[in-house]
Amino acid sequence: MTRIAIIFDSATGRTERLARALSDGAAEVPGAEVTLARIAPLGPAAAHGDDVPTATAALLAGADGIAIGTPVHLGAPSAAVMAFLAATGRLWLEQGLDGRVGTAFAGAGSGGGSETALSTLFSVMAVHGMIIVPGAPRSVDGPGGGSPLGAIALASSPDTAAETELARARAQGARLARVAGALRALR
């Protein structure tokens, strides 16, 4: 069984929609077991009304593949995402994520700074020794957010573009699960 963890922070719902689409795509890969988890907010907790568990370092340590989703704030991942990742220092000391597969995705207001935010997440993954798998942008053509680095949902996207963004996220989730499954066999 290939274990996939998809963790995210989402203030407006854009990043969560992408997370669910990545989860759907990964779940379509035979042998993949997907866990979706929300990164705890730094301020007062917003009521989400769902049963998505809170992301933990233990979830990451048990995963073969990890997708991290963030809202984009001033060209950077959200403070909640960065605080969560900063708390993974013990995993780094223990090399707990070394050789695991990682990818990233983002929800953004305008698209400005999205690739910088994804690159920041990839840098954290590299420090952990993870194998970085970018998105699968050529697998789905159409308007909307998206980048060679990963799926991006834009606030300004019309409904037709939003469907393309979700299709790109599903393709990215499937790619993560396939690569993680192949590399799991080598560990």
Mean pLDDT by 10 residues, the chain (187 residues): 97 91 97 97 70 94 98 93 96 96 90 86 97 77 68 70 85 97 88
**pLDDT of amino acid 111:** 62
**pLDDT of amino acid 12:** 85
Which residues span the domain enclosing 86?
A: 2-184
**pLDDT of amino acid 49:** 58
Q: Provide the 3-class DSSP secondary structure of residue 153.
A: strand
Those residues with Cβ within 8 angstroms of residue 95's Cβ, 6 or more apart along the chain or in another chain: 129
Closest CA to 72 of 115, 102, 34, 32: 115
Q: Provide the 3-class DSSP secondary structure of residue 163.
A: helix
Q: E-assigned strands of 17-176?
A: 32-38, 65-73, 76-77, 101-108, 131-132, 152-154
Task: Report how many domains make up the chain.
Answer: 1
**pLDDT of amino acid 34:** 98
Please report, to the nearest 10 degrees, the dihedral formed by the alpha carbons of residues 37, 57, 28, 187 taken in order. 180
**pLDDT of amino acid 161:** 56
Extract the tokens encoding 103.
């990818």
Helices 79-86 and 114-127: crossing angle in degrees, nearest 10, is: 10
The mean of the pLDDT values for the chain is: 89
pTM given for the model: 0.92
CATH of the domain at 79: 3.40.50.360
Residues 29-74 have pLDDT tens digits of: 999 999 999 999 987 766 565 789 999 999 999 999 999 999 999 8
